[in-house]
Amino acid sequence: MLVAQGLTKGFGGPPVVEDVSFTLARGAITGLIGPNGAGKTTLFNLLAGSLRPDRGTLALDGTRIEGRRPDEVFALGMARTFQIPRPFPAMTVLENVMLAPPGQQGERFWTNWLRPGAVAAEERRVRERALHWLDFVGLTRLAQEPARVLSGGQRKLLELARVLVAEPRLILLDEPGAGVAPPLLATIMEKIVALNAQGTSFLIIEHNMELVMSLCRPVLVLAQGKLLMEGEPEAVRADRRVVEAYLGAGIA
Average pLDDT over every residue of 182-207: 92
Which of 42-46, 80-84, 194-198 has the lowest average pLDDT? 80-84
What is the residue type of 170?
L
- Cβ–Cβ < 8 Å for 53, 46: yes
39 confidence band (pLDDT: 50, 70, 90): very high
Residue 112 has pLDDT above 90, yes or no: no
State how far the Cα of 75 lies from the Cα of 54, in Å rounded to an integer: 23
Other Cβ atoms within 10 Å of 49 Cβ, number: 21
- Cβ–Cβ < 8 Å for 146, 95: no
Confidence at residue 119, expressed as pLDDT on a 0 to 100 scale: 59
Confidence at residue 109, expressed as pLDDT on a 0 to 100 scale: 61
206-226: pLDDT as tens digits: 888 888 989 999 999 998 899
27 is a domain residue: yes
Average pLDDT over every residue of 36-57: 94
State how far the Cα of 67 lies from the Cα of 88, in Å rounded to an integer: 27
Which of 159-163, 193-197, 244-248 has the lowest average pLDDT? 244-248
243 confidence band (pLDDT: 50, 70, 90): confident
State how far the Cα of 33 lies from the Cα of 207, in Å rounded to an integer: 7
Tell me the pLDDT of the chain averaged across its residues: 89
Average pLDDT over every residue of 242-251: 57
In DSSP terms, which residues pair with 70 in a beta bridge? none
* Phi, psi angles (nearest 5°) of residue 148: -65, -15
213 is a domain residue: yes
Q: What are the helix (H) ranges across the chain? A: 40-48, 70-75, 93-98, 109-114, 116-137, 152-164, 182-197, 209-215, 233-238, 240-242
Residue 184 has pLDDT above 90, yes or no: no
Confidence at residue 9, expressed as pLDDT on a 0 to 100 scale: 97
Q: What is the DSSP letter of 25?
A: P
The CA-to-CA distance between both ends of the chain, in Å, stands at: 33
Residue 250 has pLDDT above 60, yes or no: no
Count of domains for the chain: 1
Question: Which CATH number fits the domain that encloses residue 84?
Answer: 3.40.50.300
- What is the span of the domain harbouring residue 192? 2-247
115 confidence band (pLDDT: 50, 70, 90): low
Confidence at residue 103, expressed as pLDDT on a 0 to 100 scale: 62
* Phi, psi angles (nearest 5°) of residue 188: -60, -45
Average pLDDT over every residue of 160-184: 91
State how far the Cα of 45 lies from the Cα of 205, in Å rounded to an integer: 12
User: What is the total residue count of the chain?
Assistant: 252
Confidence at residue 146, expressed as pLDDT on a 0 to 100 scale: 97
63-80: pLDDT as tens digits: 999 999 999 999 999 999
130-145: pLDDT as tens digits: 999 999 999 999 999 9
Residue 100 has pLDDT above 90, yes or no: no
State how far the Cα of 1 lies from the Cα of 166, in Å rounded to an integer: 18
From the list 115, 162, 117, the residue with the least C-alpha distance to 143 is 162
State how far the Cα of 13 lies from the Cα of 46, in Å rounded to an integer: 17
Residue 53 has pLDDT above 50, yes or no: yes
249 confidence band (pLDDT: 50, 70, 90): very low
- Do strands 29-33 and 78-80 pair parallel, antiparallel, or not at all (unpaired)? unpaired
Confidence at residue 162, expressed as pLDDT on a 0 to 100 scale: 92
State how far the Cα of 115 lies from the Cα of 95, in Å rounded to an integer: 22
252 is a domain residue: no
In DSSP terms, which residues pair with 33 in a beta bridge? 221
